[in-house]
């Protein structure tokens, strides 16, 4: 039994929050969307390996506001499978558009999202400067802007 299992959960524990913090360093911002989102998790051998939060934003549109895989399990295809599961989940509930926002310095994530068919449609200039009190550095760059991507389901 080495397969991934996905399920929706309604109660998040500290273990889930720790994982969400890997994708979004602000607990305050996580708290602003977590209660309004659907939480899907991936488990392997009964252990939490990944998490994804989906927030309905506009009619027929749902956004992945957080996606994270346990550090030791990254680069093994779990993120890809979580994205595919989220797509199927949203499609089955008649959403027409899946959105995601990510840092302009998040090169690996941008590769993963574009490999899955997401296309860039906009930039939220200065998002990470406006909403985060601590500077964020990634790939030796100061993160300032958020790239907005979308996928038609």
By the criterion CB under 6 A, which residues form the site for ligand ACO?
22-23, 64-69, 74-80, 100-102, 108-109, 111-112
Is the Cβ–Cβ distance between 100 and 52 less than 8 Å? Answer: no
Nearer to ligand ACO, 108 or 126 (CB): 108
Nearer to ligand ACO, 23 or 34 (CB): 23
HSE of 74, CA atoms in CB hemisphere, 13 A: 12
| SS3 at position 68 | strand
- Cβ 7 to ligand ACO shortest distance, Å: 18
Cα–Cα dist 6/100, whole Å: 20
Report how far apart, in Å, the C-alpha atoms of 38 and of each of 1, 66, 105 are.
Answer: 27, 11, 27
Nearer to ligand ACO, 37 or 153 (CB): 37
Is the Cβ–Cβ distance between 12 and 2 less than 8 Å? Answer: no
Cα–Cα dist 91/37, whole Å: 16
Chain residue whose CB lies nearest ligand ACO? 108
- Cβ 42 to ligand ACO shortest distance, Å: 9
- Cβ 83 to ligand ACO shortest distance, Å: 8
- Cβ 1 to ligand ACO shortest distance, Å: 19
Nearer to ligand ACO, 77 or 122 (CB): 77
- Cβ 115 to ligand ACO shortest distance, Å: 6
Cα–Cα dist 10/21, whole Å: 18
Nearer to ligand ACO, 77 or 126 (CB): 77
Cα-flanking dihedrals φ and ψ of residue 84, to 5°?
Answer: -65, -40
């Amino acid at each position: 039994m080495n397969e991934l299992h996905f399920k929706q959960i309604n109660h998040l524990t500290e273990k889930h929050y720790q994982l969400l913090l890997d994708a979004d360093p602000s607990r305050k911002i996580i708290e602003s969307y977590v209660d309004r989102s659907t939480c899907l998790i991936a488990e392997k051998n009964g252990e939490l390996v990944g998490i994804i939060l989906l927030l309905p934003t506009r009619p027929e549109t749902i956004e992945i506001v957080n996606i994270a895989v346990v550090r030791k399990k990254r680069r093994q295809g779990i993120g890809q499978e979580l994205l595919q599961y989220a797509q199927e989940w949203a499609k089955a509930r008649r959403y027409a558009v899946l959105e995601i926002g990510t840092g302009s310095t998040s090169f690996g994530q941008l590769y993963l999202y574009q490999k899955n068919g997401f296309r860039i449609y906009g930039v939220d200039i200065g998002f990470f400067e406006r909403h985060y009190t601590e500077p964020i550095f990634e790939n030796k760059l100061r993160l300032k802007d958020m790239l907005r991507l979308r996928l038609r389901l």
